[in-house]
Structure 1
Amino acid sequence: MGFCEEVVQTIHGNCPSKSNCYKVINLNGHASLSKTKALKAYEEQFYIQCDKYRNAGITGYFELYLRVYYPSQRSDLDNALKVVLDCLQRVKTISNDNKCVKIVAEKFLDKDKPRIEFELKAV
């Protein structure tokens, strides 16, 4: 699939904070990090809903334009960035988030319909 320019994708649901989405677990006497149920559930919903960019296979440089609609003012915008980039890799939209050269992110409040809206642009 070629690179879709200026296609807006909406993912419904509250984007979790990357900083709060891991828990320490004990594996054979060693501490390790594990994803929380909330992060796993969001990643699954992202995969299901991301129909416009799934399997895009973007390997070149790109820009991310992101609008995050939170249900309350409490969440930090920067915590959504890594979650979204990780999800984009998981659904094979991008090959590596190190190819992201620009991020424009905006925070909005929508108590009833939390979501993210994003688009990618080739550089």
Structure 2
Amino acid sequence: MNTYAKVVVPGSPITKSNFKLHNKDGRAILPSNTGTSNDRYAIYEEKIAYYARLQNPGVILEESLIAILKVYYKSEKRHPDTANITKSIFDGIEKSGLIVNDAQITRIITEEFYDKENPRFELEFFGESKYKISYSVEEKIEPSEKKLYTSLRKSPASKLLKTTKDKKEENTNSSTCEFCNKKVKEDNLIKGNGGKTLICRNCFNKLF
């Protein structure tokens, strides 16, 4: 039985979209052929699945696992939230058949790095029957420069700068299909993602 596997997927890692629709049976779906930016999340999962199987032919990890994930972003200033990136990665790995279910990953360590020339993620799996993990947090002898993120947050004052015109545009868009951008009546709209995403019945039927 295999107890180790490694997957390296080139390209800038992306997080799973918050965009979700539900099919006629009520199951959440992630479209891949809409012609919009939402497709890239489903395509990214397929890319992960391809590399996972290519790099680990015939390997199936069936036991509980330790996962070490190293994410290399292209830019230090603009990149997805690392805390949320594991979902799209593990969904792609599960789709490959390398693991049975992402629930078997019981321990995860995620590290963030930067590589402008070669953005990627490197993921290693270790079976708990053979491997164990330990870590420590130690105080630095010489403190390094603080890496602050407060400037990335929108202050309450900035939220108040939204004009009445902006609010009117938002109200107008709430009756517009996210796919064909046509205005339709409310009774011809299907809501997804907790009501944040609207799609007309015509576009919805084309997806299925």
TM-score category (smaller protein): 0.7 to 0.9
**Amino acid across the alignment from 1:81:** T
Tell me whether 1:8 sits opposite 2:10 in the alignment.
no
Q: Which of the pair is proportionally richer in strand?
A: 1
Residue identity in the other structure for 1:97 = D
**TM-score between both structures, scaled by the size of structure 1:** 0.79
Q: Which has the larger radius of gyration?
A: 2
Quick one: which of 83, 89, 93 aligns to 2:94?
89
**1:26-37 alignment runs, 5 A limit:** 33-35=29-31, 36-37=38-39
Misfit runs of 4+, over 6 Å: none
Deviates more, 1:44-53 or 1:100-109: 44-53
Q: Distance in 1 between matches of 2:60 and 2:98?
A: 5
* Match in the other structure for 2:61: 58
User: TM-score under structure 2 normalisation?
Assistant: 0.50
Give ranges in structure 2 of 5+ residues lacking alignment.
Answer: 32-37, 129-208
- Larger RCO: 1 or 2 (CA < 8 Å, sep 6+): 1
Q: Is the 8 A contact 2:20 2:29 kept in 1?
A: yes
Output the CA distance in 1 between the equivalents of 2:100 and 2:112. Answer: 26
Structure 1 residue runs without a partner (length 5+): none
What is the distance in 1 between the residues matched to 2:22 and 2:2? 42
Q: Deviations over 1:42-75 (max 9, x none)?
A: 1222222222335532221001111001112332
SS at match of 1:83: helix
Alpha-carbon RMSD: 2.5
Per-residue deviation, 1:22: 4.2
CA distance in 2, matches of 1:26, 1:106: 33
Count of aligned pairs: 118
Q: Percent identity?
A: 22
Task: Write the deviation string for residues 61-110 of structure 1: whole angstroms up to 9, x where unpaired.
Answer: 00111100111233211121111111111000111111111111100111
Q: Secondary structure at the match of 1:39?
A: helix
